[in-house]
Amino acid sequence: MRCPALIVDRGKVTGNARAVAELCRSHGIDVWGVTKGLSGDPRLAEIYADAGFSGICDSRLRNLRKIADSGSPLPRQLMRIAMMSELKELAVTAETSLQSDIGTIKELDRICVSAGIRHKVLMMIDAGDLREGFWPTELPDAARELKDLEGGVKIVGVAANFACASGVLPTRDNMARLVECRDAISGITGREMPVVSVGGTCCLKMIEAGLAPEGVNVLRICEGVLLGTDTASDRVIPYLARDALTLTAEIVECRQKPSVPVGDVGYRAFGEKPVFTDRGLRKRAILAIGRQDVNIDRITPLDENVEIVTASSDHLIVDVTEAGATYRAGDTMSFRPLYPAMLACATSEYVEVIFE
């Protein structure tokens, strides 16, 4: 096996996806699977389709093109607000997008009319997380401006993200405001808008408790399905497998060294000034993976007696003095990634993503 590798247990991810789909269906909510966690891997899109998800979301058009080229039957949605420079590509790559700028929506409408394309748009609402989205007080004027689109773009509802930028969690109140925003836009434009879409694994907790207001009918999700965790709520989701993904790297050196550097200490390559505790001689292993590939603060060794010491761009240094195994060069070591680490590994061209 090539190292480093991010190993995906297809069976466990499929089980997680089916569990989420079943839960949401029981509450009248469709699920759209976010693929950016594995950099738009078509194999993940295939799992989402098999689990009964209603669509695919990604923040990069390049990823959505990969999925389209793979023959996935699911509709595609661009969930990062579009750049003006990519609207022509958006029109032919995704059936739906999330938008929060009036000028962008109008230009997309013009492009779609010229190309003979119908494109669905969800108006993003800022529900308090202070990322993208119309502020609710802007909606009446925005709705009036968008009332007379030429027919290329059809506004089908509203959407919001939670806990992405500022950590604001979903509540019954802020989710209910989304439904109110949808109804206000629909009233001004005179058009039916059936979709209220919420983003983030943190929304699962509301759905589990039956607290999602009537009218919220789409969930966009990634982390829970892949990792079985909800970082925003700081919880492990009890009915989902947490060990579906494993990061494996190869040891390239293993020997005893002092625990404190010898010489004057300045700043590391990534700008931090390290602090060390003298623990005497320690056995250290160096692995062929580094900060260029992974967020080292968001991985946990599966051997609980291994301790991460530090990393450069290309090397991860771990203390194996009390490890449960005898490590040497050529051996592999495995880690459990959290969301930021998974995202970095899947994006790095130096880490192979393997489905087993």
DSSP 137: G
Q: What percent of the chain has pLDDT over 70?
A: 99
Q: Is residue 2 part of a domain?
A: no
Supply the pLDDT for residue 322: 95
Domain that holds residue 201: 10-236
| Residue 340 and residue 216 share a domain | no
pLDDT tens, position by position, 131-155: 999 999 999 999 999 999 999 999 9
| Residue 195 and residue 300 share a domain | no
| Residue 162 and residue 57 share a domain | yes
Supply the pLDDT for residue 273: 72
Supply the pLDDT for residue 189: 94
| Residue 337 and residue 219 share a domain | no
Q: Is residue 117 part of a domain?
A: yes
Average per-residue pLDDT in the chain?
96
CATH number, position 202: 3.20.20.10
| Residue 131 and residue 16 share a domain | yes
| Residue 61 and residue 200 share a domain | yes
| Residue 289 and residue 172 share a domain | no
Number of domains present in the structure of the chain: 2
Q: Is residue 206 part of a domain?
A: yes
Task: Report which residue type is found at 318.
Answer: V
186, 218, 236 - which closes a domain: 236
Backbone angles phi, psi at 49, to 5 degrees: -65, -45
- As given in the structure block, the two tokens for residue 72 are 């996935």
Q: How far is CA 309 from the centre of its chain?
A: 27
183, 215, 236 - which closes a domain: 236
Supply the pLDDT for residue 269: 67
Q: Is residue 339 over pLDDT 70?
A: yes
| Residue 283 and residue 347 share a domain | yes
| Residue 229 and residue 251 share a domain | no
* Distance in angstroms (rounded) separating the CA atoms of residues 124 and 99: 6
Q: Is residue 200 over pLDDT 90?
A: yes
Supply the pLDDT for residue 299: 98
211, 236, 261 - which closes a domain: 236
Q: Is residue 3 part of a domain?
A: no
* Position 270 confidence tier, pLDDT thresholds 50, 70, 90: confident
Active-site residue, 120 included: no
Supply the pLDDT for residue 264: 75
* Position 257 confidence tier, pLDDT thresholds 50, 70, 90: very high
Supply the pLDDT for residue 70: 98
Q: Is residue 193 part of a domain?
A: yes
* Position 262 confidence tier, pLDDT thresholds 50, 70, 90: confident
Helix, strand or coil, per DSSP, at residue 16: helix
| Residue 276 and residue 332 share a domain | yes
Q: Is residue 239 over pLDDT 90?
A: yes
What is the mean predicted confidence (pLDDT) over 309-337?
A: 95
How buried is 10 (Cβ within 10 angstroms: 0-12 exposed, 13-18 middle, 19+ buried)? middle
| Residue 266 and residue 210 share a domain | no
pLDDT tens, position by position, 20-52: 999 999 999 999 999 999 999 999 999 999 999
DSSP 59: S
Global pTM reads 0.95
Q: Which of 42-56, 185-199, 254-268 has the lowest mean pLDDT?
A: 254-268
Q: Is residue 15 part of a domain?
A: yes
Supply the pLDDT for residue 9: 98
Catalytic residue among 36, 88, 106, 147: 36
Supply the pLDDT for residue 272: 74
pLDDT tens, position by position, 100-117: 999 999 999 999 999 999
Q: Is residue 322 part of a domain?
A: yes
What is the mean predicted confidence (pLDDT) over 219-227?
A: 98
Supply the pLDDT for residue 261: 84
DSSP 230: E
| Residue 167 and residue 20 share a domain | yes
